Structure 1
Amino acid sequence: MDEHSFLVNRERAVDYLNSLDKVFVNDQFLNWDSENRIKVRIVSARAYHSLFMHNMCIRPTPEELENFGTPDFTIYNAGMFPCNRYTTYMTSSTSVNLNLKRKEMVILGTQYAGEMKKGLFTLMHYLMPKRQILTLHSGCNMGKNGDVALFFGLSGTGKTTLSTDHNRFLIGDDEHCWSDKGVSNIEGGCYAKCIDLSGDKEPDIWNAIKFGTVLENVVFDEYTREVDYYDKSVTENTRASYPIEYITNAKIPCVGPHPKNVILLACDAFGVLPPVSKLTLAQTMYHFISGYTALVAGTEEGVKEPRATFSACFGAAFIMLHPTKYAAMLAEKMQKHGATGWLVNTGWSGGSYGSGSRIKLSYTRKIIDAIHSGSLLKETYTKTNIFGLAIPTKLEGVPTEILDPVNTWKDKTMYEETLLKLAGLFKNNFETFTNYKIGTNDDLTKEILAAGPNL
């Protein structure tokens, strides 16, 4: 859109907000790294939106609020009030506009609170790399010995579940920065999926749902007010937004040293990726740029079989620069600080969706525990065909036969066909990135391309 259309929308939102008897204003921060934090002001029409952002951004102390001053960025959220569909570039009554020059965001015609969270994350993907700070769509936790792990993954791969571990300190579940000093959480809260939630399966998230938590899309008994977390009648995408302090083992302030492990999560519904693979630096870059997971039948209308989906850097909707720029920064930081890359499949084994079975969460947790402890690094590894992934020959607490996916398929011919199909999808997706140079003399580009599946 052009500047004029933005200003028309801005004026419309501000006029609507000015007409209300009450508006809600939040002055808050982004980034727990105090040297690189951003001051944001959110002006909204609904208390729900204000509480959501109160939970999700960093809450200033009374003294910081008193001396807050001029914000670095402002959001005008008019909520349900629509944009004018006849304004140039408008295609519906909903419009979400971000203007970097004016340092403003305008929201019209939608009551989805996540637009504000997403808009600010997009802003950070633009501002932080200018300071040589890498922005990451990842979860992050830290062991008692100070070992930090990053968890990348698209929706449904287990990013929040696996980063929220009662044996480790939670730095954050979704958005982070990696600077020369280490990692820092961008947010002040968590936005956890709560479909099928129970106190037994995920006690930390369960216990975080209390007064002040925002629940979205859930079904509850209007008389007892009891929530039915198993009810999917509205959507499977039920969510809980709560301050990070509601997690008992959260690390406050939410900062940590340089990561030791970088874990890329994929929910492979084709059932051909191993439960865990140790990656070379080039392979880590390849799978980071690819950002793979799979949709399964039933999640979207018309999906009859697994469908691969790729989101560059595990956050294509947020990145403002070319994906290879973020990948080069990640490679540099991993190499400098000695981090190991891992690919963990939380999806299917023994066949594709519909014939195989989902890898048990208890097995995935054993894998993650072995990565954290360092014991997995000491195991013996073999290489898989096509993808060339290094897989351990054994792992305590995980059945040996599932470590190499070919062992779990009864129909070996079907396994080979499915493996080749997925490899082809990876190749086709990566064609978009082959014309961009990474590293000195383009050397890293060649390594990354060679690290993909070999057909």
Structure 2
Amino acid sequence: MTAPTTALAGTGVVTSSTVHANLTAASLYDHALRRGEGRLSADGAFIAVTGVHTGRSVQDKFVVDDPEVHDKIWWGKINQPMAPEKFRGLSAKVQAWLGARPVLFTQDLYAGADPAHRIRVRLVTTNAWHALFARNMFIRPERAELDGFVPDFTILHAPEYEADPVADGCRSSTCIALSFAAKTILIAGTSYAGEIKKSIFTVMNWLLPERGVLPMHCSANRGKAGDTALFFGLSGTGKTTLSSDPERQLIGDDEHGWSQTGVFNFEGGCYAKVIRLSREAEPQIWDASHRFGAVLENVVADPLGNLDLEDAALTENTRSCYPLEFIPNIVPDGVAGLPKNVVMLTADAFGVLPPIAKLSPAQAMYHFLSGYTARVAGTEKGLGREPQATFSTCFGAPFLPRHPEVYGRMLAERIARDGADCWLVNTGWTGGAFGTGKRMSIQHTRALLRAALDGSLAKAEYVTDPFFGLAIPKSLPGVPAEVLNPRETWADKAAYDRTAKELVARFEKNFESFAGAVGDDVKAAAIRAAA
């Protein structure tokens, strides 16, 4: 236990209650189990159930409309404005509510593996398991670095507090509000731990562009030759799975920065979807999720604690959070060289995109701004079981406080500067749309990616897809030729043509939103219907 005045410095929370600061994983386990916050799996992982909120509450996210940031924010459904006075009022209520709790837990952590670009984060929460989640998820300072720790941003985490929509200027009793001016994040009315993680990602997406660093919603790994690869994609597209490759060192599974000198992880842990996780196909994630120290969200287990990863009774969005060091083959300091390959992952629910295609720099810019994928059931509150086709610009629209063109221009500049090869990879459906076709074979996807990353696929012979203008390899050892061309996987070729035209029309409609902000080369690379 630490003196409250020290542990809560800079948070605005005043209390005479017990405050547990920077406890170890074992101590947090002890408190969480004694307090009845969850239970143990048979393998020693901590299992928490988050109640009604099993995904992010997108409609309840707000950015404070402070005068100094107003002109730079990408306002709209993603970044809904909250009046500064409403934020101050809600902040005071949350601070008072936290101060009245009998026990609080704090964690002091870093976001950003590169010391030149990291920020200091202080979490204040009522639950030991949420503190453990944050400890797993972010970068843990050395003990000596905690002395005199002054946070750059504070997260006030009040999962049981219910906001008043009328008085507090929000939509419901749940509210995630971020003030760049106050350097404070309020999370109220939701126990879903992903809100903690993504709130800091939003902060990094705000801060780093002004430092000349591109923040990215991507995983990253490094080959034996020292080559860095980036994997862009929304939740459920395979970022974590595909970057956790036994033949390559994992840098991180979700959030990175691309600086003048290289790539660095924002985090110190992984947050993997584990619904229907395969021990054979994804052994690293499986092992990391079946051990002491992992935090499992909404994973079903029998009375003895044996996990049933097939069971989606609570949600499709079952999650495992574990420290990076639980993966045996990692880049220890989270920093690597400039990327040689940029991979954009899409889970195509229409089943008409190829499993892999080589992109020109202009096509890469186009697909980055398009961010086409399917939102997979469970990752957001309110989604049903069936994936929904969507366009999420920069493969991370929910976490972008600035206009997408800012990030798009930065990516184009870095691809040109550093000469990275770019690829589009479909981890979604083949042989038909969702409900008729089947999910892409992970073995085929891994084979295609390894050929791309080792340079051999760049030398292959290509054909151009007539609908999307994509360069598709004609053959690759170990992958059936008909798999490479999606039309050949459909029994009904006319149905494929109709479905492909439908997706082309969606790409055309989406392009209207950013066509005026791109150059002629990107306009020429845009997907459009045949004349």
- Name the SS of the counterpart of 2:398 in structure 1: coil
| 2:396 paired residue number | 315
- Name the SS of the counterpart of 1:252 in structure 2: coil
* Post-superposition CA distance 1:202-251 (Å, at most 9, x none): 111111121111100111122x1111111111111100001111111111
| 2:406 paired residue number | 325
Aligned partner of 1:78 among 145, 154, 158: 158
What letter matches 1:73 in structure 2? F
Alpha carbons of 1:419 and 1:30: their partners in 2 closer, same or farther (altered >3 Å)?
same
| 1:353 paired residue number | 434
Pair 1:221-2:295 in alignment: no
Q: State whether residues 126 and 321 of structure 1, in contact with CA within 8 Å, keep that contact through their aligned partners in structure 2.
A: yes
| 1:38 paired residue number | 119
Give 1:169-180 correspondences, 5 Å limit: 169-180=249-260
What letter matches 1:192 in structure 2? A
Query: Take 2:168 and 2:147, find their aligned partners in 1: how far apart are those partners?
Result: 40
Alpha carbons of 1:107 and 1:359: their partners in 2 closer, same or farther (altered >3 Å)?
closer
Q: State whether residues 128 and 134 of structure 1, in contact with CA within 8 Å, keep that contact through their aligned partners in structure 2.
A: yes
Aligned partner of 2:494 among 409, 413, 419: 413
Pair 1:454-2:525 in alignment: no
| 2:261 paired residue number | 181
Give 1:82-93 correspondences, 5 Å limit: 82-93=162-173
What is the CA distance between 1:295 and its match in structure 2? 5.1
Q: Percent identity?
A: 49
* Post-superposition CA distance 1:107-163 (Å, at most 9, x none): 221212111111110010010001010000001000111011100112221111001
Query: Take 1:232 and 1:433, find their aligned partners in 2: how far apart are those partners?
Result: 37
Aligned partner of 1:260 among 330, 340, 349: 340
What is the CA distance between 1:67 and its match in structure 2? 4.1
Q: State whether residues 236 and 376 of structure 2, in contact with CA within 8 Å, keep that contact through their aligned partners in structure 1.
A: no
Q: State whether residues 270 and 306 of structure 1, in contact with CA within 8 Å, keep that contact through their aligned partners in structure 2.
A: no
What is the CA distance between 1:199 and its match in structure 2? 2.5
Q: State whether residues 351 and 429 of structure 2, in contact with CA within 8 Å, keep that contact through their aligned partners in structure 1.
A: yes
What is the CA distance between 1:406 and its match in structure 2? 1.9
Q: State whether residues 272 and 351 of structure 1, in contact with CA within 8 Å, keep that contact through their aligned partners in structure 2.
A: yes
Query: Take 1:304 and 1:14, find their aligned partners in 2: how far apart are those partners?
Result: 37
Query: Take 2:496 and 2:115, find their aligned partners in 1: how far apart are those partners?
Result: 51
TM-score for the superposition, normalised by structure 2: 0.81
Query: Take 1:280 and 1:80, find their aligned partners in 2: how far apart are those partners?
Result: 49
What is the CA distance between 1:341 and its match in structure 2? 0.7
Aligned partner of 1:16 among 83, 90, 97: 97
Pair 1:111-2:191 in alignment: yes
Query: Take 2:201 and 2:384, find their aligned partners in 1: how far apart are those partners?
Result: 30
Aligned partner of 1:273 among 350, 353, 356: 353
Alpha carbons of 1:296 and 1:25: their partners in 2 closer, same or farther (altered >3 Å)?
closer
Query: Take 1:413 and 1:166, find their aligned partners in 2: how far apart are those partners?
Result: 41
- Name the SS of the counterpart of 2:296 in structure 1: strand
| 2:180 paired residue number | 100
| 2:231 paired residue number | 151
Q: CA RMSD in A?
A: 1.8
* Post-superposition CA distance 1:83-124 (Å, at most 9, x none): 233314233211111000011111221212111111110010
Aligned partner of 1:247 among 302, 324, 327: 327
Consecutive unaligned residues in structure 2, runs of 5 or more:
1-81
Q: State whether residues 281 and 442 of structure 2, in contact with CA within 8 Å, keep that contact through their aligned partners in structure 1.
A: no
What letter matches 1:279 in structure 2? L
- Name the SS of the counterpart of 1:160 in structure 2: helix
Q: State whether residues 306 and 352 of structure 1, in contact with CA within 8 Å, keep that contact through their aligned partners in structure 2.
A: no
- Name the SS of the counterpart of 1:86 in structure 2: helix
Q: State whether residues 292 and 308 of structure 1, in contact with CA within 8 Å, keep that contact through their aligned partners in structure 2.
A: yes
Structure possessing the higher relative contact order (Cα contacts under 8 Å, 6 or more residues apart): 2
Aligned partner of 2:475 among 370, 378, 394: 394
Q: State whether residues 308 and 425 of structure 1, in contact with CA within 8 Å, keep that contact through their aligned partners in structure 2.
A: no
What is the CA distance between 1:47 and its match in structure 2? 0.8
What is the CA distance between 1:304 and its match in structure 2? 10
| 2:284 paired residue number | 204
More moved, 350-359 vs 163-172: 350-359
More moved, 292-301 vs 33-42: 292-301
Q: State whether residues 296 and 353 of structure 1, in contact with CA within 8 Å, keep that contact through their aligned partners in structure 2.
A: no
Query: Take 1:433 and 1:409, find their aligned partners in 2: how far apart are those partners?
Result: 33
- Name the SS of the counterpart of 1:320 in structure 2: coil
What letter matches 1:449 in structure 2? K
What letter matches 2:100 in structure 1? S
Query: Take 1:303 and 1:83, find their aligned partners in 2: how far apart are those partners?
Result: 26
Alpha carbons of 1:97 and 1:289: their partners in 2 closer, same or farther (altered >3 Å)?
same
Q: State whether residues 235 and 376 of structure 2, in contact with CA within 8 Å, keep that contact through their aligned partners in structure 1.
A: no
| 2:79 paired residue number | none
Alpha carbons of 1:253 and 1:4: their partners in 2 closer, same or farther (altered >3 Å)?
same
What letter matches 1:450 in structure 2? A
TM-score for the superposition, normalised by structure 1: 0.94
Q: How many residues align?
A: 446
Alpha carbons of 1:303 and 1:252: their partners in 2 closer, same or farther (altered >3 Å)?
closer
Q: State whether residues 316 and 378 of structure 2, in contact with CA within 8 Å, keep that contact through their aligned partners in structure 1.
A: no
Query: Take 1:305 and 1:122, find their aligned partners in 2: how far apart are those partners?
Result: 27
Alpha carbons of 1:333 and 1:301: their partners in 2 closer, same or farther (altered >3 Å)?
closer
Alpha carbons of 1:67 and 1:301: their partners in 2 closer, same or farther (altered >3 Å)?
closer
Pair 1:59-2:137 in alignment: no
Query: Take 1:192 and 1:298, find their aligned partners in 2: how far apart are those partners?
Result: 13
Q: State whether residues 507 and 528 of structure 2, in contact with CA within 8 Å, keep that contact through their aligned partners in structure 1.
A: no
Alpha carbons of 1:131 and 1:144: their partners in 2 closer, same or farther (altered >3 Å)?
same
Query: Take 1:101 and 1:416, find their aligned partners in 2: how far apart are those partners?
Result: 51
What is the CA distance between 1:301 and its match in structure 2? 8.6
Query: Take 1:408 and 1:373, find their aligned partners in 2: how far apart are those partners?
Result: 27
What is the CA distance between 1:354 and its match in structure 2? 2.6
What letter matches 2:197 in structure 1? K
| 2:314 paired residue number | 234
Alpha carbons of 1:85 and 1:248: their partners in 2 closer, same or farther (altered >3 Å)?
same
What letter matches 1:161 in structure 2? T
- Name the SS of the counterpart of 1:7 in structure 2: helix
What is the CA distance between 1:387 and its match in structure 2? 1.1
Query: Take 1:252 and 1:301, find their aligned partners in 2: how far apart are those partners?
Result: 38
| 2:40 paired residue number | none
Alpha carbons of 1:330 and 1:52: their partners in 2 closer, same or farther (altered >3 Å)?
same
* Post-superposition CA distance 1:307-329 (Å, at most 9, x none): 42110100000111111211111
Query: Take 1:128 and 1:158, find their aligned partners in 2: how far apart are those partners?
Result: 25
- Name the SS of the counterpart of 2:508 in structure 1: helix
Q: State whether residues 90 and 168 of structure 2, in contact with CA within 8 Å, keep that contact through their aligned partners in structure 1.
A: no
